[in-house]
Amino acid sequence: MSAAPLTVNVPLGERAYDIEIGPGLLDQAGKKLAALFPGARFGIVTDSNVASVQLPRLEASLTSEGLGFETHMVPAGEASKSYSRLGEVVEAMLAARLERNDVILALGGGVVGDLAGFAAAIIRRGMRFVQMPTSLLAQVDSSVGGKTGINSPHGKNLIGAFHQPSLVLADLDSLKTLPPRQFAAGYAEVAKYGLIDDADFFFWLEHNLKEIRNGGPARAEAIARSCAAKARVVVADEHEHGQRALLNLGHTFGHALEAATGFSDRLLHGEGVAIGMVLAHLYSARLGLAPGQDASRTEAHLKAAGLPTRLSDIPGDLPQTARLLELMYQDKKVTRGRLNFILTEGIGKAFIKRDVDGSDVEAFLEEMRNA
C-alpha cells in the first residue's frame, strides 16, 4: 500500500491550492480530478520523453473515472519554451473545444509546466490548470508559485504570466525513471532553499544527501520542505516585487549561461543554477560580504550532489565575457539599466544587492573563466 502523501498548502485566499507529494499520485489522479473538477474535460500537455513513461499511467487513471481528455505532445527540451510551441498548444486545446471551465494538465518537467501553464493563462483569457511535475526540479520549484512562460532569443523566461495552478500532484514514482543528471539538476533547487534563508535545512541536506539520492524517506521530506519554503515566499510576495526575488539566488549568472549555451543540453537549468550559486557566493566573498569558507562549503556540497560548479565544467566554448555580461542585463531583476543580484552574507543569509557595478562583475567573470 502506498504511503499517505505529504501535503503542503499554498494559502492564497480564494486561489489557495494543495501540493501533494507521494508515490502513486498519477495512478490516483483520475479520482482526485473528478472530485475537484466535476463535469470538466481535460487537456494534457506533455513532452516526448514523459509520454513514453508516465503518460499511460495518467491516461489510464482518467479513463477509469470516465473523464474526457485530449493529449498534446511537444518535443522534450528547453527549446519547446518558444512562441511556436506555445501557439501549437493553444491551437490544439481550442481545436479540442476545451471550454473556459475545463482544465489543462501539465505532465512533465519545468519546460512543460511553464509552457502549459502559460497556455492556460491565455486560452479563453484564463483556464484552470494542474501541475503534475515529473522531475525533481519541477516538483520543488517551477510547479509551485504560478510563474509560467516561454523564452526569448533575448533571454530566459522573458515572456509569461503569473497564473496559479489549482493543484500540484508531485508523484515520487516518476523520479525513479529520472536520469541521474536530471535528478542532480533538480537537487540544485533543493539546496537553494537552504542557502537562501535556512542554514539548518542546508546542514540537514549535507547529512541526508545519500538517502535523498537513493529515494529513502528523506527524499519526500526534502521535497516537502522545499515546497513549504517556496510557498512562504510566494504568499508574501506573489508577483516578485520584493523578497520573492531571493528565489533567484544563482539565477542571474545561471540564466546568462543557459542563454550562452543556446538553452541546450550542454547546460541544464539546474546545472546553470548550481554554477550560479557558487559564483554568487564567490562574488560575495570577493566583495567582503561573506566568508570564503561558506563559498567552499557550498561548492563542495553541490559537487557531491553531482553538479557542475565552475565555468570550466561547461562543455564547449563560452562567448566572450562581455557577451555574458550583456546577457545578464536582460535579467528580469535589472532596474533602469542597473544590475541587481542576489548575493549572500553566508549560508542561509541571502539578500538583494542593488545597483551592482557591471564592470566589476565582468572582471570577476573573467577571473572565473580560468579558475
Catalytic residues, by residue number, are 125, 147, 189, 230, 240, 244, 248, 251, 255, 269
Q: Dihedrals φ, ψ of 344, to 5°?
A: -150, 150
SS (H, E, C) the chain: CCCCCEEEEECCHHHCEEEEEECCCCCCHHHHHHHHCCCCCEEEEEEHHHHHHCHHHHHHHHHHCCCCEEEEEECCCHHHCCHHHHHHHHHHHHHCCCCCCCEEEEEECHHHHHHHHHHHHHHHHCCEEEEEECCHHHHHHHCCCCEEEEEECCEEEEEEEECCCCEEEEEHHHHHHCCHHHHHHHHHHHHHHHHHHCHHHHHHHHHHHHHHHHCCHHHHHHHHHHHHHHHHHHHHCCCCCCHHHHHHCCHHHHHHHHHHCCCCCCCCHHHHHHHHHHHHHHHHHHCCCCCHHHHHHHHHHHHHCCCCCCHHHCCCCCCCHHHHHHHHCCCCCCECCEEEEEEECCCCCEEEEEEECHHHHHHHHHHHCCC
The CA-atom distances, in angstroms, between 23 and each of 8, 103, 205 are: 15, 23, 21
What's the rounded Cα separation, in Å, for the pair 72 and 51?
10
Query: For residues 92-131, b (16+ Cβ closer than 10 Å) or e, as one string?
Result: bbeebebeeebbbbbbbbbbbbbbbbbbbbebeeebbbbb
